[in-house]
Chain A
């Protein structure tokens, strides 16, 4: 009997170790495969140069900037909306309209990103092109708008969770003092739930950064540093997807592992930040 117990323990333990190893292995592979490029001392050039393979320059700066632009902009759009929605769900209408909205938001988490991309190409891009009559309509703006819809469920669910933890007597007291719901949100709920809000923001940023399909399909993928939100831009994720078709032995191909590494490190930092703030709250 004891023997069986031990076997089970070992099996469960090794499964966990295997999953942890997988996480580290991915980082390991990214670093290992970008080593040939790193060793040549080109790392600074790669991080700052423009991307023009014909001239032997393989900088990914434009892609990093594109990634940051698109994800920050989508966060900017969806943050107020998500805040409003979670306030709606949790505080104003916790009864049926709120429940309905929550169900809708949960359903939205299940919608494939490729569908957002597809609708973006055939619905949003023509609209943006007509409204601004500038360029092809494939721009940072269109990609951010679509991404905003993609990431808002993450934020809404996280925000309303942290709103729910605000003690009910605080809310009752505020209401008894005759506060408007706007004052309630800004002076009572946000100060009490800001760590949760921050964590939700960080996670949503990671999700926006990690998404490939929307950026690849509707941001236009140009490699020039964007100067306005109507310009097209390329994200790191889309860059990887596009270069993968190139020749295996070229330097272009090797630099995409640096892109992968950069993405990995950026998202892991986000996770660490989120965990850190959660821990602080628990204390």
Chain B
């Protein structure tokens, strides 16, 4: 009985949050919200900057995701492989402690780290360096790195022993085994981990707040410029909106962000279901 109540309480709490956003926000979602009064094609080909719409924020979030996944993916994959296949038990427990700590660091501290690196570079290398898209992406990469390492490691380690040992026993080297057997068989698991990491990138606000996001910047022109991002826009509206139409845009933006993260979650879940099917009939 008690646990029924708990389950219902949690579910209603969640429904309230989502329902509130949907009821308040659905009217706000239209093309004007995203592109304001700029023509669609002009916006897409960057002929004209979009003012007052969410288009720059969406582009900013997208480029942030691409850049930070680009930094974190090779590093995370390589360390995950090392932890799963090469490391000795002692080395493994040390590295996985480090990964756990990195995963536990509050995102604002990671942002502060990015910010202090900017100051450092500004002082010692060039006074041209300011908080920018590149620094944000690098700091975000640190934030999602532990997730990628963990998923890669767990994905490889949870493969059945016969899959892990067949190729080496046939004379394949360790590297060949990794490239041709382990990675392909663990791929869907790793991919769904990456999708979740993308979700973290899309939602995080604290890191970018300290490393170069601003309220109005337009579409970023280079990796060294300021940028806009959806989550920061939502935060900004919540704290300094001045009229109801701005507030309406905030609701719209929140709903779009919610849809994006729910979509990413659904994608990851779908990939997982696919592997479950595959493992049931395969191997």
Contacts and interface: CB of A to CB of B under 8 A. Distances in A.
Contact of B238 (A118, A203, A270): A118
Contacts of B234: 114-115, 118
A92 B14 contact: no
A20 interface: yes
Contacts of A263: 105-106, 108-109
B2 interface: yes
Nearest to B102: A23
A85 B10 contact: yes
Interface in B1-29: 2-7, 9-11, 13-14, 16-17, 20-21, 24
Among A4, A110, A117, A244, max chain B CB count under 10 A is at A110
A162 to B, nearest CB: 16
Interface in B149-204: 149, 173-175, 178, 196, 199, 202-203
Size class of the contact patch on chain A? 35 or more
Size class of the contact patch on chain B? 35 or more
B106 A237 contact: yes
A237 to B, nearest CB: 5
Nearest to B6: A84
A259 to B, nearest CB: 8
A210 to B, nearest CB: 3
A117 to B, nearest CB: 7
Interface of A: 1, 4-5, 8-9, 11-13, 15-16, 18-20, 22-26, 29-30, 33, 80-85, 87-88, 92, 97, 101, 103-108, 110-119, 121-123, 149, 152, 156, 181-182, 203, 206, 209-213, 216-217, 237, 240-241, 244, 248, 256-257, 260, 263-264, 267-268, 270-272, 275
Given A16-B79, A237-B108, 15 more contacts: A30-B112, A80-B6, A81-B10, A88-B3, A108-B14, A114-B205, A115-B234, A117-B235, A149-B17, A212-B106, A240-B112, A240-B210, A241-B210, A267-B104, A267-B106
